[in-house]
Amino acid sequence: MFDELYGLGAIRVIALFGTVTVAGFVTAPYLGRRFGWTVPNKDRADYIIRAQATLITVTGIVLAFCLVQAQGHLRQAEELVVKEAATLNTLDRSLLRYGDQGAALRPLLWTYTTSVIVDEWPALRHGQRSPDTSAKLTPLSRAVFQLDPQSGRQVTIYGEMIKSIDDLGDEREQRISAANLRLHSEFWLVTFLLGLILVALSTVIEAVAYHTVSIAAQGLALALLAALVFCSDRPFKGYISVSPSPIVEVLATMNART
């Protein structure tokens, strides 16, 4: 169900969360009165209002924790992309410095980098790798390993290139793993149950305008926070997601390097 929500767009998701929440809090007192659940005693109603205030605080804390977790996953993925871009740049520079044999392999690196942007980035939305990108990394790695350094300078640069190739493979795997980072479903279940309890408590309070508006406004604030968490929960799929910009910029730098 959550995957389908990502197809709605950020504005629609926020509107959906807010509309459902406000509608629940506004209609709850009237439903309670219809079914005879309303508590007419003011003192008893005060206890329920206090309980709602406590639950709103708890729900806000849970959502804040979820947002911190989601933002942490997002930053982690962004750091991986920046690190991978730096490795691509280092490898291209090493190939150029190696000599003619190394420089001849640079187009293979550029092709692989382009595939990461064009082919693999869309696949990351589904937490998957791109077979096309894998196919373009293999000949690059094989070609680098087949180089035969002659001078001491080439031996040093060759060692750096081998390390960069290994780092590139590891960083790609880490990026693909990061594409599957998300909050555990238990967090969403707890948040939903807390919201359900809040709405249920509203059914036993009289439909007084000022209280209904107040609790609906607080519920809307929680819904907006929940929408923000949802939009940033998936590092490569959410509306607040990791951009391939560092790799795009590095590709431009590599193409311009002579």
Confidence at residue 32, expressed as pLDDT on a 0 to 100 scale: 83
Domain residues for the domain of 206 are: 2-256
pTM of the model as a whole: 0.83
pLDDT score, position 41: 66
| Mean pLDDT, each 10-residue run in order, the chain (258 residues) | 69 89 89 77 74 90 92 93 96 93 94 96 91 94 91 91 94 93 89 91 81 87 92 84 94 90
Q: What is the pLDDT of residue 29?
A: 85
pLDDT at 79: 95
pLDDT of residue 94: 94
DSSP of the chain, one letter per residue? -HHHHTTS-HHHHHHHHHHHHHHHHHHHHHHHHHTT-----HHHHHHHHHHHHHHHHHHHHHHHHHHHHHHHHHHHHHHHHHHHHHHHHHHHHHHHHH-HHHHTTHHHHHHHHHHIIIIIHHHHTTT---HHHHHHHHHHHHHHHT----SHHHHHHHHHHHHHHHHHHHHHHHHHHHTT----HHHHHHHHHHHHHHHHHHTTS---HHHHHHHHHHHHHHHHHHHHHHHTSSTTTSSS---SHHHHHHHHHHHH--
pLDDT at position 42 = 66
- Total count of domains within the chain: 1
Predicted pLDDT at 126: 87
